[in-house]
Structure formats: structure tokens, C-alpha cells
């Protein structure tokens, strides 16, 4: 019988996300939204562990823990979920016997690791095949990816924000794949900033024959072309006020009228809008309609810049190397330890777009099979292999870069043999694999 977890969490999104992950990892669980319900369950059911938010609608998680301890008997270990403002309370619970705590926003992998250390549980269903990540290895992108199936099933309008080149369209395409795993429905994209108001209207809604000079025949717009699938409107913050009105009408009525036409055409699409602008500020400045803002801001996904998710840098670099090799037969390149370190240390103001261009340029210009820092950066200082020691870099981020470099160098010394490397580091093979995954270190070839 699998270990059973008592989850106490009133937030529905977090609760659903945790339940989905518990099921995937092989945990049995009961989800309670209040401390009172959890207290009754604890009195009649033996649990291997309790995962509880500190802030609950009736009693606090702290009070639930105290009452459980005072009740006597065999008490399961408690793991608290807490915000930074409640860390002191969580630490106080540790002194009274709680097992651990984790602070929001947290990496769910960390919580799973803590639970595995507390209870005996299989590593997921025996028939389950681990699913390769689509969006990255970082906790932020793994969280977004974990939300996509639920969003795909229920949301007709989604807003994605993030810096230019951060991967907003990459997320939109992943959302479309979650909604259309068979790959039979259309994904249609347009950059709203690249077209004039007149051209954008005809592009979105289509036009009838003779609607304007050059309209020699009727043409379906992107709304119609995306029928049943996804329409991706990039840089929606650049849309003119007049076009905003027409877009709002199309979203509200779920139908369009072609330029020069009178017939209304119903459309059934998922609308995904993206922008690198702060729409709320544009609304306050009177440059973006408030009613349109609320219409498209039903589900909001924020894509962090690449510098805020450094685990993804080497992961994407290897993807770009593989894509280049696929397009150019016989031009297979790999990254040296120094190159991976330099990539991880760079801030990438141009995000994924800049990283992809750097990889492609290096593949074209370098005659060596192994890329070095000087192949990737024009500026010798940017190619330095020393890790940054900027006062602006959080300590956790700096330590993560150090850990990554240390593991990569250890793998190099031991010929990428995982067991041998793990032994030299004084950790288990499984622990090394988990660290490599978390830090974005590429998996070596299969060992003999």
C-alpha cells in the first residue's frame, strides 16, 4: 500500500497542482481545504505525512499542528508551506517537532524530495514514462508547463507576458499542443506591431472581393484560419485604439465580419495574446482599453527573462545545437565546460533570441567540433570563465552557478561516467542525476 499524504491547502490552484503531482509520484493522498476537516481526518486515518499551508481559512496550520501534538498518539511528520512573512512561525514549529517547511513560491521538486525523505514511496507508477520537459528545467517554466493541460481544457483566452525574446510564442505553442495532442488543429500567429491598422484589420478578419484596391478575391482572415485551433496575437500592446475596439467585439461575440462584408462569421478559437509591455500601465495611461484588458487577462502567464532562470540556458543551448545540426548535416558541435559556464554566467538581455543567434553564429564560424567561450561572445570579457561576483546577484543563484560548474568539471574528469563521478563527489548516483536535472547539466552517453 502506498504512503498516504494529508494535504491541507485552501488555494484551489495550488491544491490541484499538488494533487496532480502526488498522483504522478505514486503518493496516495487526501486533500482538505480547512484545518478542521484535516483535524477530523487525522483522528480517524493514519497518514505518512502532513503537508499544510500555514495560512488557512479557519485555524492556522500552526494551530492544527499544536492540536495534533497535544492529542497524543502517533503523529505524522508535518511539512509546512509558508510565505516569507511566516518563516519565523515555521521555524518555531520545527522547534516543537515539525519535520520541515518550504517557502512560497517553491519548486515542487523540492517538496517531493522532502516527502520522499520522510516516507517510503515508489518513484511514480511502474508504467509511467517520464515526460521530457518542453519549456525548460527551471522551476518557473516547469510550473507554467504543469498548468498548460488544465488551461488547455478550460481557458478560451490567455495572456502571456515577458521580455522580448523570452519565449512567449514557445509557451503559446506548447499550450496549443496540450489542447491538440494529435496535431490536427491550426496554430496561427501574427505580430500586431508589424502591420498597419488597415492591414491588420484585413489580416485578422479577412476581406471580401473588391473591398479595397488590390482585393481581387475574397480572403479568410486569421480568425477564420484558426477555426478550432489557436490564434496567437503577439505584441498586442502595440495595437491601435480603433483596432482594440474591433478585437474586443470579436472576442465578446465570438464572430467576425470581413472587411467590405456584411455577413457575420462565427469563430471557435483559443485566443492567446502576448506582449512585452505592462498592459496595466498602458490602461492607466489611456493607451489600452480597460475592458479589453480584462477580457484578455483571464489567465495570465508570466515568462521570466532567461537571466532569472539560468538552469534553462544550457538546456536551450543544447536544443539549438541539435536544431542546427539537423539543418546542416555533418555540422555537429558540442559545448566545452568553459563554454557552458560562460553561457550560464551571461545575462542574455536578448533572452532566447540572443542565445539562439549566439549558438548559430558559433556553429557557422567555428571550425572546431567543441565550442569555446570565445566562439560564443565577441567581447572577451563576456567570454571569461570566471563566475560573476556581482553584488546584484542573489546568493542562491551564485551558489547554484558554482555547484553547476563543479559538477560539470567532475563529469569531465571522470569521462562522464555517472557512478564514478557520484562516488568521487560523495553522493549517490540518483542524487547526482537529480542535481544534473535541476542544474541543466546534459545527460552523458549511456554507461556500459
Condensed to tens digits (0 to 9), the pLDDT of residues 177-190 reads 999 988 899 999 99
What mean pLDDT do residues 74-92 have? 76
What CATH class does 308-439 carry?
mainly alpha
Cα–Cα nearest to 442, from 303, 312, 329: 312
Confidence (pLDDT) at 387: 52
pLDDT at 151 over 80: yes
By the 8 A CB rule, do 314 and 353 touch?
Answer: no
Question: For 200-220, what is each residue's pLDDT tens digit?
Answer: 988 899 888 877 777 778 889
**Taking 80 as the threshold, does the pLDDT of residue 255 lie above it?**
yes
Domain with CATH 3.40.50.2300 in the chain: 4-118
Share of the chain above pLDDT 70, in %: 87
Q: Is the pLDDT of residue 125 over 60?
A: no
Pinpoint the alpha helices (H) of 206-240: 222-225
pLDDT of residue 61: 86
Cα(26)–Cα(4) distance, integer angstroms? 9
Sign of the CA dihedral 390, 396, 400, 402? Answer: positive
Residue 230 reports pLDDT greater than 90: yes
pLDDT at 114 over 70: yes
Chain center to CA of 407: 24
Q: In the chain, where does the domain assigned CATH 1.10.8.60 lie?
A: 308-439
Other CB atoms within a 10 A radius of the CB of residue 143 amount to 16
Confidence of residue 126 (pLDDT cuts 50, 70, 90): very low
Q: State the sign of the Cα–Cα–Cα–Cα dihedral 343, 349, 351, 354.
A: negative
Q: Which residue has the higher pLDDT, 14 or 231?
A: 231
pLDDT value at residue 206: 87
- Residue 122 in this model has a pLDDT that exceeds 50: no
Q: What pLDDT, on a 0 to 100 scale, did the predictor assign at position 385? A: 45
Question: Given this model, what pLDDT does residue 360 score?
Answer: 93
CATH topology of domain 4-118: Rossmann fold (3.40.50)
At residue 130, the pLDDT reads 42
What percent of the chain is modeled with pLDDT above 90?
A: 29
State the span(s) of the chain assigned CATH 3.40.50.300: 139-302
For cell 488551461, the residue is 151
Each residue of 335-349: pLDDT tens digit?
Answer: 887 888 888 888 899
166 or 419: which leads in pLDDT: 166
The pLDDT score that the predictor gives to residue 85 is 59
Average pLDDT across the chain, whole number? 83
Homologous superfamily (CATH) of 139-302 is P-loop containing nucleotide triphosphate hydrolases (3.40.50.300)
> Which of 61-65, 139-143, 276-280, 389-393 has the weakest average pLDDT?
389-393
Neighbouring residues of 291: CB distance < 8 A, sequence distance ≥ 6: 248
- pLDDT tens by residue, 260-305: 888 889 999 999 999 999 998 898 889 999 888 888 888 889 999 9
Res. 446: pLDDT tops 60: no
Q: Is the pLDDT of residue 147 over 80?
A: yes
- Region 416-439: mean pLDDT is 81
At CA 347, angle to CA 342 and CA 351, rounded to 5? 110
Label residue 380 by pLDDT band (50, 70, 90).
very low
Amino acid at each position: 500500500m502506498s504512503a498516504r499524504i494529508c494535504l491541507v491547502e485552501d488555494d484551489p490552484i495550488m491544491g490541484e497542482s499538488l494533487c496532480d503531482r502526488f498522483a504522478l509520484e505514486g503518493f496516495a493522498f487526501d486533500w482538505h481545504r480547512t484545518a478542521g476537516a484535516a483535524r477530523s481526518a487525522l483522528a480517524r486515518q493514519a497518514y505518512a505525512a502532513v503537508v499544510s499551508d500555514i495560512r488557512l481559512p479557519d485555524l492556522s496550520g500552526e494551530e492544527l499542528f499544536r492540536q495534533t501534538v497535544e492529542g497524543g498518539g502517533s503523529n505524522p511528520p508535518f511539512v509546512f508551506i509558508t510565505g516569507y512573512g511566516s518563516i519565523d512561525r515555521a521555524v518555531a514549529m520545527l522547534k516543537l517537532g515539525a519535520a520541515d517547511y518550504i517557502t512560497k513560491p517553491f519548486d515542487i521538486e523540492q517538496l517531493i524530495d522532502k516527502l520522499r525523505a520522510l516516507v517510503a514511496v515508489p518513484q511514480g507508477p511502474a508504467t509511467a514514462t517520464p515526460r521530457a520537459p518542453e519549456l525548460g528545467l527551471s522551476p518557473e517554466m516547469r510550473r507554467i508547463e504543469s498548468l498548460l493541460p488544465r488551461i488547455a481544457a478550460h481557458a478560451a483566452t490567455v495572456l502571456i507576458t515577458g521580455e522580448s525574446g523570452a519565449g512567449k510564442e514557445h509557451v503559446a505553442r506548447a499550450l496549443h499542443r496540450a489542447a491538440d495532442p494529435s496535431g490536427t488543429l491550426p496554430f496561427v500567429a501574427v505580430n500586431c506591431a508589424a502591420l498597419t491598422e488597415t492591414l491588420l484589420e484585413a489580416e485578422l478578419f479577412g476581406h471580401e472581393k473588391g473591398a479595397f484596391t488590390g482585393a481581387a478575391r475574397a480572403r479568410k482572415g486569421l480568425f477564420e484560419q484558426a477555426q478550432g485551433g489557436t490564434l496567437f496575437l503577439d505584441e498586442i500592446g502595440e495595437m491601435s485604439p480603433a483596432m482594440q475596439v474591433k478585437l474586443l467585439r470579436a472576442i465578446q461575440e465570438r464572430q467576425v465580419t470581413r472587411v467590405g462584408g456584411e455577413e457575420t462569421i462565427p469563430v471557435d478559437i483559443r485566443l492567446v495574446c502576448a506582449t512585452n509591455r505592462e498592459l496595466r500601465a498602458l490602461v492607466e495611461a489611456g493607451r489600452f482599453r480597460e475592458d479589453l484588458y480584462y477580457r484578455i487577462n483571464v489567465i495570465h502567464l508570466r515568462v521570466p527573462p532567461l537571466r532569472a532562470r539560468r538552469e534553462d540556458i544550457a538546456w536551450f543551448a543544447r536544443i539549438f545545437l541539435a536544431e542546427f545540426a539537423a539543418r546542416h548535416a555533418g555540422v555537429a558541435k558540442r559545448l566545452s565546460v568553459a563554454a557552458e559556464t560562460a553561457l550560464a554566467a551571461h545575462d542574455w538581455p536578448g533572452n532566447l533570441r540572443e542565445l539562439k543567434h549566439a549558438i548559430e553564429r558559433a556553429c557557422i564560424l567555428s571550425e572546431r567540433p567543441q565550442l569555446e567561450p570565445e566562439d560564443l561572445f565577441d567581447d572577451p570579457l563576456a567570454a571569461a570563465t570566471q563566475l560573476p561576483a556581482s553584488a546584484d546577484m542573489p546568493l542562491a543563484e551564485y551558489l547554484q552557478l558554482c555547484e553547476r560548474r563543479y559538477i560539470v568539471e567532475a563529469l569531465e574528469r571522470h569521462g562522464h561516467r555517472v557512478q564514478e563521478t557520484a562516488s568521487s563527489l560523495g553522493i549517490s548516483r540518483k542524487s547526482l542525476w537529480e542535481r544534473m536535472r535541476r542544474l541543466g547539466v546534459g545527460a552523458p552517453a549511456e554507461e556500459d
